[in-house]
Chain A
């Protein structure tokens, strides 16, 4: 029970007044970010990351920094539900499925019930994922200490193939977006040979493309442009959470424990294998509809239809930090931004983090428990406040958000070139979203591109160019096989459907 002891130590680190205050600030900021269009978990954290640079230089500051940033993430996860239920606008992609039953409930005058169900579901999902992180991540980290370059490359391969296999989008669009990320990651100085790649004589390109800029542009500017299309007005339902409604809903929720458990498992799986929170929420909604007694009533305002996607989204969003901490492979764009933060603060994510930075890791894990409790209390008590933010007219909110994005892009390297790049990424994000190109693979490839390439080169050096090294032992072979299965999953399921279709006819 080393984990329990480490966790108690972690609580010792996380439970200072300063850190508790950061949690509160982070959650509040996160919910606001989740509620506002154009600002989400990933770019919200990316914009605020530079503000933690000076904080992280003080002793113990890295822990405080990650507590602030991760709490923004939890807040954003909570915040997405508010706009989905009250305004029928998903504040975050993972809360799209919440609108299916959340908004009808609000229209029926049950907004309080729907919000309570969503928040409680999120909390349960997050708690499940944090428990999983507490007990599973030390094991994964210990196991991963024995990893060589080939093993790491097969993990990267699995990460990227999972996107192709698990996304709703057309497989070749996923591939195109991912390869674009890899190509952008390759720009700049090649660390192995010292040669310049794809800079074409430009000095601005020497540093390469920073993924923080890409995140701010793709998710921030792109989303504002898309929101503009729909005009400037938001129409919403007013809501107040009365204590009695909360308690009544809580009495009702344990009835749906099976749905919750299923959503937790789906969410954690999709978070660890980087399918992400968005597909997890849809999948869990679909499963809940299939297995529920009131399956046909889904879509008209059923409480199960709110808890299922919210639980899964929060479980996925939280468990995405497990591979980020243990392997240095983030499971979602926001986890990728947090990973970028760790690297900027001088911490090397991966298995060694658990032995060399015990205080940091366990402080973070403890803060996940505390942060989600703080989060639940904050969102339950402050819903009217957050909902009123959306009543500020869009013609004020939009320029302010765009200014925040520009400032955020500038602060990363204090460079004007980055602001122009952000603009370009914004247009790309808008067009990609409209055409159904997923953005997450691009961001993850941009973050992991260099390291995936390094591990590939190292393993190829070890084997003298023989691809067989990716099948040289059970572990690598298993990971590679799993990766390839996921990669060709769209093809496999197509063939399977055809075969079954033929059989069904005959």
Chain B
């Protein structure tokens, strides 16, 4: 286990790399904004500033600030950890199923997807037994159903199960 723990504490990404990636994305977005503003026109015409006038400068400042942030990160003499492997693993353990959950919402509706998501989370990460898991996940979804569909009358996205039960 010792070697495993050591492995978990090794850096997955350094702050320097993360800073540079974020700065690069910011610069790329800045360029995108500038290009689109040029398409719309960033000048003055007879009836005032064109649609791209204001955003164009936003794009310019985005690029400048991205460049400054990248330079500052590169000149930082210390090597610091952005995430360790262990932390990264835990974050991905939440993030990846979360993406799956959002995809499931579109397929099965929000209530069924939420029940499945909470249940899987509890079993995988919380190591709970089936009875407790079922009670919590079904209970929470039912509570949300009552709250949104019945009390506040805010319809949420539903799927085949609700259709089969005639709740649509």
List chain A positions with a Cβ less than 8 A from chain B. 50-51, 53-54, 170, 172-173, 175-176, 179-180, 182-183, 186, 190, 192-193, 195, 197-198, 200, 221, 224-225, 228-229, 231-232, 393, 395-396, 398-400, 402-403, 406-407, 410-411, 414, 416, 419-420, 423, 426-427, 430-432, 434-435, 437, 453, 456-457, 460-461, 465
* B105 engages A434 (CB within 8 Å): no
A179–B65 Cα distance when bound, in Å, is 9
- From B58, B98, B114, give the contact of A183 (CB < 8 A): B58
- Assess A407 versus B110: contact at CB under 8 Å? Given A175-B65, A195-B51, A402-B101: yes
* B140 engages A192 (CB within 8 Å): no
Chain B 82-110 per-residue mask, 1 if CB under 8 angstroms from chain A, else 0: 11000100110111001101100110001
The 10 A-B residue pairs with the shortest CB-CB distance, nearest first, are: A395-B126, A399-B121, A176-B65, A229-B87, A399-B118, A172-B68, A403-B114, A175-B65, A195-B51, A193-B51
- From B44, B83, B106, B122, give the contact of A229 (CB < 8 A): B83
Measured CB to CB, the nearest residue on chain B to A224 is: B94
Residues of A within 8 A of B55 (CB): 182-183, 186, 197-198
* A457 engages B54 (CB within 8 Å): yes
Measured CB to CB, the nearest residue on chain A to B141 is: A403
- Assess A410 versus B99: contact at CB under 8 Å? Given A176-B66, A403-B114: no
* A407 engages B22 (CB within 8 Å): no
B142 near A: Cβ within 8 Å? no
Residues of A within 8 A of B40 (CB): 190, 195, 197
A385–B13 Cα distance when bound, in Å, is 40
The interface residues of chain B, by DSSP majority, are classed as helix
Interface size grouping (class) on chain B = 35 or more
Measured CB to CB, the nearest residue on chain B to A450 is: B54
* B51 engages A183 (CB within 8 Å): no
Residues of A within 8 A of B164 (CB): none
* B33 engages A437 (CB within 8 Å): no
- From B33, B61, B125, B140, give the contact of A232 (CB < 8 A): B125
Residues of A within 8 A of B126 (CB): 232, 393, 395-396
Which among B37, B50, B61 has the highest number of chain A CB atoms within 10 Å?
A: B61
Residues of B within 8 A of A50 (CB): 154
Measured CB to CB, the nearest residue on chain A to B50 is: A193
Residues of B within 8 A of A398 (CB): 94, 121
- Assess A225 versus B66: contact at CB under 8 Å? Given A198-B36, A434-B18: no
* B122 engages A395 (CB within 8 Å): yes
* A435 engages B94 (CB within 8 Å): no
- From B50, B69, B94, give the contact of A172 (CB < 8 A): B69
* B62 engages A179 (CB within 8 Å): yes
Which among B18, B110, B155 has the highest number of chain A CB atoms within 10 Å?
A: B110
